[in-house]
Structures are given as structure tokens and as C-alpha cells.
């Protein structure tokens, strides 16, 4: 289902350069499931749908035994045979190298000079004993346009009850810190500054307190505490009338709202006002308008492709963001033709607990470069 839905999008948009960013590669039970990764990669590279992509780079962080470095990130890059003179940046040699053939890198990516990879320090999210969150960065030059592609995975909400306590939540603050670190890292003084795209699972959540207060504005709240510790373990919101019907039940890992349609109707547009985490970065990051429903948490039952799980409040966790200079790389439509598309993949099919999102656009040759400072970014020294 997953590959078929991806190939449908590839067939529809026929990209010449395709970047695919994956998180939790090998699944949550990666020790047992990492053996399936090779089959997935081979199927992706050898499929008929990808036969016109004669060059590829695959970076898989599979070394789960390295607690210090393991991020479970996977970054795939495919180049169509029609594209000429594509270059990738060598961060160690500080120069671009022409991309030829298909290459797969896995296990220890730390020694690969064609990318930068970091796992966030443990103190960023101390309540998670062993977090895999981090980022992988690659740099490319196509049609004389240089840009970074950053595969990112930020911290999740550990408890719905804690997320509900404050607005913004404590978890929002943790993600803010981590994303700020990544943005500072990719524009530091070590390398020339270029435009960048950052995409993956940001784990951005809706403002839980504001959402609950809105959804349950006319409800009364019942608090249930643990007998031994007096700790709040459950909140029940009931309608004031209508036989005291339960509207929402909230536990650490339960968000059971009686009407899921609110998250799906009109692509959940009514809830976008509670999607506030990106606003902190509005001076540094740009995003096209969202016109798809919340990307998480979907049921992992293969027969329930459109159903959300009752574990978390649905949210737009999966995003494609860019620097403001990256907007200049995107070729604007000249005749109302819809060239730039930001959407999700497999709306009616089970794709796992996250629906993938994609951004399709054309790059304007040489765009984003000040005329006074044109330089040959892709000359191999």
C-alpha cells in the first residue's frame, strides 16, 4: 500500500529530482524489524515506477546499537535520467561532487562526508530514556541552484495530560529549542549559506488546552486520581445536558473525542487556528498553506485508512518548511497552472500512523542568486 501510493504520486508529478525523508526507519521495534529494511530499499530502487531514475543516494541510519548516534532516519534521493550535471556537496572536502550511479550508505553514517547527522543531546528530552530524535542534512546543486535538504525528527508529546496543562505546552517549548538548534546549525559559519528545505516529523501539536476548551466549551469536567498517589490519571468531559453524554476522555495516551469528523471535515481547517508552534519561527521559516487533514495519528489497521487512533489529538506533525530565500527557487506559475502542490499521500489507504506529505514544485534555473554575486556553485575543484 505504502509503495503503491508513493508511486502514484511519482507517476502523477514525474519529478526529475526526488527527495524522500523517512523517520523511525525499521519501525518502533527496530531490533526485530530492521531486517525488512533491505527488502524495502531494493523494491524501491528496482521498481518499474522508478526505472527512469538512473542515479540515487540512500542514507540509512540503521546502527541501533550505537546509543550515542542512532536516529533511525532514512534519506533517499533519486535523479531522473534527463537531469544533467547534478552535484552533491562534500562537507569534509568543502566542494561539490558530480552524482553518478546508485549508492547506499547505512550503519555508521558518521564517516560519510556527503552528509551531516546529529542526534539531539539526552538533556533535550530527559523524560525519554533513549530518544532517537535528530536530523540529517545534505546539500545539492541543480540548474545552478544550491540548497540544503534537512531530514528532521523532533520530540513528541509524552503525555496528553501534561500537554493539556499549559498553553503552549512544555513539549512545544522542547521542540522550539531543538528546531532552533537545527536552524542555527545549518546557517553557521562553517559553510556558505544557501537556501534550505526542512522536512519530516516535527511532531508539532495543536495547542491542546485551547483545543479541549473549544471542543468541550459546554461540558463539565470530572477528574479521576490514582488512589495511591493522588495523581491525575484521567479527565472526563461530559455534556451539561443530553444525558451527560461523554464528549472527551483524556489520559496520558488517550484522546478519545466522540466525533472524529471535526478533524476530517474540510481537511480539519477549523482546527488550523490551534496549530501555533511554527509561529515562533515565522521570521526564519515559510510554509505553503495547508490543505490536507491532520497527518497523525492514523490507525495502523490496514482496513482503516481514514480513521484516527484515539491516542492523541490529531495534528499536522508532518510538514515541509523552507527558508524565505528558498521561496525564490520555486518557479512561480505563469498561466494559473498549478505548479506548486503541497498535499498528503494515500488519503484513503493505511500508510502507518503518519500520512506522508509531499511538496511538488519547479526550480527556476539560477534563481535565488543576487546578480551582483553570481558564482559557479557547482564547479568541482
Query: Residue 365 has what pLDDT?
Result: 67
Query: Residue 375 has what pLDDT?
Result: 45
* Torsion sign (Cα): 338, 20, 329, 374: negative
Query: Residue 205 has what pLDDT?
Result: 98
Which of the residue ranges 23-32, 215-224, 342-351 would you say has the lowest mean pLDDT?
23-32
- What one-character-per-residue DSSP string does 145-169 give? EEEEEEEEE----S-HHHHHHSSS-
Is the pLDDT score of 222 beyond 70? yes
Residues present in the chain in total: 381
What is the C-alpha separation between 125 and 123, in angstroms, rounded? 5
Please report which confidence band the pLDDT of residue 61 belongs to, taking 50, 70 and 90 as the band edges.
very high
Query: Residue 184 has what pLDDT?
Result: 96
What is the C-alpha separation between 285 and 186, in angstroms, rounded? 13
Residue pair 1/351 in contact by the 8 Å Cβ criterion: yes
Please report which confidence band the pLDDT of residue 32 belongs to, taking 50, 70 and 90 as the band edges.
confident
Please report which confidence band the pLDDT of residue 127 belongs to, taking 50, 70 and 90 as the band edges.
low
Give the gyration radius of the chain's Cα atoms: 22
Query: Residue 334 has what pLDDT?
Result: 59
Query: Residue 331 has what pLDDT?
Result: 67
Query: Residue 336 has what pLDDT?
Result: 52
Which of the residue ranges 34-43, 97-106, 372-381 would you say has the lowest mean pLDDT?
372-381
Query: Residue 369 has what pLDDT?
Result: 58
Helix (H, G, I), strand (E, B) or coil at 319: strand
Query: Residue 195 has what pLDDT?
Result: 95
* Mean pLDDT within 255-274: 95
What is the C-alpha separation between 201 and 260, in angstroms, rounded? 22
What is the C-alpha separation between 108 and 368, in angstroms, rounded? 34
Query: Residue 7 has what pLDDT?
Result: 97
Q: For the chain, give every domain's residue range.
A: 1-204+267-360
Looking at per-residue pLDDT, the higher value among 330 and 326 belongs to 326
- Cα dihedral angle (346, 351, 357, 358), rounded to 10 degrees? -70
Query: Residue 163 has what pLDDT?
Result: 96
130-161 pLDDT, tens digit per residue, is: 678 999 999 999 988 999 999 999 999 999 99
* Mean pLDDT within 193-216: 97
* pLDDT more than 70, % of the chain: 92
Joined together, the cell numbers standing for residue 91 give 562537507
Q: Going by C-beta distance under 8 Å and a sequence separation of 6 or more, which residues neighbour residue 321?
A: 197, 198, 199, 202, 278, 285, 286, 287
User: For 16, which DSSP code?
Assistant: S
* Mean pLDDT within 16-25: 95
Q: Going by C-beta distance under 8 Å and a sequence separation of 6 or more, which residues neighbour residue 381?
A: 95
Query: Residue 333 has what pLDDT?
Result: 55
Q: What residue has cell string 537556501?
A: 195
* Mean pLDDT within 338-362: 94
- What one-character-per-residue DSSP string does 218-258 give? TEEEEEEE-TTT--EEEEEEEESSGGG-EEEEEETTEEEES
Query: Residue 328 has what pLDDT?
Result: 80
Query: Residue 372 has what pLDDT?
Result: 35
What is the C-alpha separation between 319 and 342, in angstroms, rounded? 9
Residue pair 305/350 in contact by the 8 Å Cβ criterion: yes
Helix (H, G, I), strand (E, B) or coil at 327: helix
User: Measuring CA to CA, which residue among 36, 49, 45, 41 is closest to residue 10?
Assistant: 49
Architecture of domain 1-204+267-360: 4-Layer Sandwich (3.60)
Looking at per-residue pLDDT, the higher value among 336 and 348 belongs to 348
36-45 pLDDT, tens digit per residue, is: 898 999 999 9
Residue pair 290/274 in contact by the 8 Å Cβ criterion: no
User: Measuring CA to CA, which residue among 109, 37, 23, 35 is closest to residue 66?
Assistant: 109
Average pLDDT over the chain, rounded to whole? Answer: 91
Joined together, the cell numbers standing for residue 249 give 476522555
Is the pLDDT score of 124 beyond 90? no
Amino acid at each position: 500500500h505504502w509503495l503503491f501510493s508513493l508511486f502514484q504520486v511519482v507517476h502523477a508529478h514525474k519529478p526529475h529530482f526526488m527527495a524522500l525523508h523517512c523517520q523511525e526507519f525499521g519501525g518502533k521495534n527496530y531490533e526485530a524489524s530492521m531486517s525488512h529494511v533491505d527488502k524495502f530499499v531494493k523494491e524501491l530502487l528496482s521498481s518499474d515506477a522508478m526505472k527512469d531514475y538512473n542515479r540515487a543516494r540512500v542514507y540509512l541510519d540503521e546502527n541501533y546499537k550505537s546509543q550515542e548516534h542512532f536516529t533511525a532516519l532514512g534519506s533517499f534521493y533519486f535523479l531522473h535520467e534527463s537531469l544533467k550535471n547534478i552535484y552533491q556537496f562534500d562537507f569534509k572536502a568543502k566542494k561539490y561532487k558530480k552524482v553518478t550511479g546508485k549508492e547506499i550508505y547505512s550503519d555508521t553514517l558518521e564517516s560519510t562526508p556527503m552528509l551531516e547527522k546529529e542526534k539531539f543531546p539526552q538533556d533535550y528530552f530527559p523524560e525519554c530514556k533513549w530518544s532517537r530524535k535528530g536530523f540529517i542534512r545534505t546539500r545539492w546543486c541543480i540548474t545552478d541552484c544550491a540548497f540544503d535538504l534537512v531530514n528532521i525528527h523532533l520530540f513528541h508529546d509524552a503525555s496528553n495530560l501534561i500537554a493539556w496543562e499549559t498553553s503552549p505546552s512544555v513539549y512545544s517549548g522542547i521542540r522550539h529549542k531543538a528546531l532552533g538548534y537545527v536552524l542555527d546549525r545549518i546557517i553557521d559559519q562553517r559553510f556558505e549559506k544557501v537556501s534550505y528545505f526542512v522536512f519530516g516529523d516535527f511532531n508539532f501539536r495543536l495547542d491542546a488546552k485551547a483545543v479541549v476548551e473549544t471542543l468541550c466549551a459546554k461540558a463539565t469536567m470530572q477528574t479521576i486520581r490514582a488512589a495511591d498517589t493522588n495523581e491525575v490519571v484521567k479527565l472526563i468531559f461530559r455534556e451539561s445536558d443530553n444525558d451527560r453524554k461523554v464528549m472527551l476522555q483524556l489520559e496520558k495516551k488517550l484522546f478519545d473525542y466522540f466525533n472524529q469528523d471535526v478533524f476530517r471535515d474540510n481537511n480539519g481547517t477549523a482546527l488550523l487556528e490551534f496549530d501555533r508552534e511554527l509561529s515562533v519561527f515565522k521570521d526564519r521559516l515559510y510554509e505553503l498553506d495547508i490543505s490536507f487533514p491532520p497527518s497523525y495519528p492514523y490507525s495502523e489497521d490496514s482496513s482503516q485508512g481514514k480513521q484516527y487512533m484515539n491516542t492523541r489529538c490529531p495534528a499536522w506533525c508532518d510538514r515541509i518548511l523552507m527558508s524565505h530565500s528558498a521561496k525564490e527557487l520555486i518557479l512561480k506559475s505563469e498561466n494559473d497552472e498549478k505548479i506548486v502542490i503541497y498535499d498528503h499521500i494515500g488519503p484513503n489507504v493505511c500508510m502507518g500512523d503518519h500520512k506522508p506529505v509531499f511538496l511538488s514544485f519547479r526550480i527556476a534555473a539560477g534563481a535565488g542568486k543576487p546578480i551582483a554575486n553570481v558564482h559557479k556553485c557547482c564547479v568541482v575543484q
